[in-house]
Amino acid sequence: MAKNPKFYHFLGCVIPHRYPSVEKATNLVFEDLGMELLDLVGATCCPAPGVFGSFERVTWATVAARNLTLAEAGGHPITTGCNGCFASLWDSNHELKHDEELRKAVNNNLAEIGREFKGTIEVTHYVDALYDYAGVEAIKKRVTRPFEGVRMALHPGCHWMRPKLIKKKDDSERPHIFKEVCEASGAEYVPYKDELICCGAGGAVRTADVKVSLDFTMQKFESIIDAGGADIIVTPCPFCELQLDLGQVEIQKYFEKEFHFDVMHVTELLALAFGHEPEEFGLATHLQYMQRKNQPNWERLGIEVHKPEDVVASE
């Protein structure tokens, strides 16, 4: 492990604008593990890979490359906690290094603002930073509140590890890296049949037809219940988190089915396991709690629940 690795923190849209508790939890966890996060000032939307990549590939790659040039100027790798942001930044970085024609078209666009993609930095996901830079052993050592006996279902999502032939990180049919990082919290991994299917939100489907996207989500919830249920669902992506968390409110509205799962980002899980209280990073601001006015079930984690103060937040 390099001494005190430094990363540019690519926030994206959903973390800073809808689930800021993830941003705060990440600050706490990275500091606890001796990893430094630097502001990536002026970063924009990644832009969403399945959305903008579906509209016009060159513009998608240009906006992504602009974000990469911000980090290239400072010379540190990027880390991001969103599978979508990771896909746009990592994929565009990869494609621009291997596709001369695309690079030419992108740099031609970037010349308009005096920028140029050079391909000098790497893009990581928080999970990579946690697994490759900090290491599972260091994470385990830092745990002061082990979640023994807590049933944890995982939702790894798609773009962190797929496409596997390009990303070459984990076996997307039997992934183990995200699982190892989450298990470092001491929680008990609950396997369920549909763990590896998409949350339903990606590829502009949530925007096109929210009911179709929620149908994926319901399948996951039902699969978790069939496996005996879980106390928490953990994901490495805020867009998946939004779909699984706020999605419960929407499922109730559109399908009149009620689910009560507490959903966390992996850095929120680790912040708790490292002994931080939910109030320190505002875990009760998850949109499910804000909109449904319901109580988190954190007693199951051995955490006392205070009634969240009302903050008016609506989609």
Partner 1 sequence: MTSADQPDVHVIDEVDTEFVDMIKRIGGPNIQSCYQCGTCSGSCPAGARTNYLVRGIIRKALLGLKEDVISSQELWYCTTCYTCTDRCPQDVQPTEVIKAIRNVAVAEGYMLEPHQKVAAKVIEAGHAVPLDKESWQKLREKVGLEPVPPNASGNPWAIEEIRKITSKSGFDKLIGYEEFMRAEEEKKKEQEKKG
**Where in 192-221 is the site for partner 1 (CB under 8 A)?**
196-198, 200-205, 207-209, 212-213, 215-216, 219
| Interface of this chain with partner 1, residues 45 to 64, rule: CB under 8 A | 45, 47-59, 62-63
Q: Rounded CA gap, 119 and 72, in Å?
A: 8
* Min CB(16)–partner 1 separation in Å: 4
Q: Tokens 């997307």 belong to which residue?
A: 172
The least CB distance from residue 204 to partner 1, in Å, is 6
Smaller CB separation from partner 1, 69 or 184: 69
* Amino acid in the structure at residue 192: Y
Residue 229 main-chain phi, psi, to 5 deg? 85, 170
Note whether 314 binds partner 1 by CB under 8 A. yes
Sort 137 into a burial class: Cβ within 10 Å, 0-12 / 13-18 / 19+. exposed
E strand segments, the chain: 6-10, 36-39, 78-80, 123-125, 151-154, 188-189, 232-235, 262-265
Number of amino acids touching partner 1 (CB under 8 A): 75
Taking the C-alpha atoms of residue 130 and residue 140, their distance in angstroms, rounded to an integer, is 11
Which phi and psi angles does 131 have, rounded to 5°? -85, -45
Residues from 242 through 301 that contact partner 1 (CB under 8 A): 280-282, 285, 290
Rounded Cα distance between 199 and 221, Å, is 10
21 or 183: CB nearest partner 1 = 21
Write out the binding residues for partner 1, residues 66-125 only, by CB under 8 A: 66, 108-110, 112-113, 115
Least spacing, CB of residue 18 vs partner 1, in Å: 6
Provide, rounded to whole angstroms, the least separation between the CB of residue 249 and partner 1.
16
Choices 73-81, 143-151, 163-171, 252-260 (CB under 8 A): range interacting with partner 1 = 163-171
The CB-of-49 to partner 1 minimum distance in angstroms stands at 7
Query: Do 4 and 70 touch, CB atoms closer than 8 A?
Result: no
Q: Which is nearer to partner 1, 102 or 181 (CB)?
A: 102
Distances 200 to 90, 209, 219, 254, 302 between C-alpha atoms, Å = 22, 10, 10, 15, 31
* Smallest separation, CB 216 to partner 1 (Å): 6
Q: Is 159 helix (H, G, I), strand (E, B) or coil?
A: coil
Q: Which of 162, 169, 179, 265 binds partner 1 (CB under 8 A)?
A: 162
Under DSSP, is residue 25 helix (H, G, I), strand (E, B) or coil? Answer: helix
- The distance of Cα 206 from the centroid of its chain, to the nearest Å, equals 17
Residue with smaller CB distance to partner 1, 88 or 183: 88
Q: Is 233 helix (H, G, I), strand (E, B) or coil?
A: strand
How many residues are present in the chain?
Answer: 315
Cis previous bond, 163, omega within 30: yes
The smaller minimum CB distance to partner 1, of residues 18 and 179, is found at: 18
Measured from the CB atom, the residue of 62 and 185 that comes closer to partner 1 is: 62
Query: Which CB, 30 or 281, lies closer to partner 1?
Result: 281
In the complex with partner 1, the residue whose CB is nearer, 124 or 285, is: 285
Site for partner 1 in 167-186 (CB under 8 A): 172-173
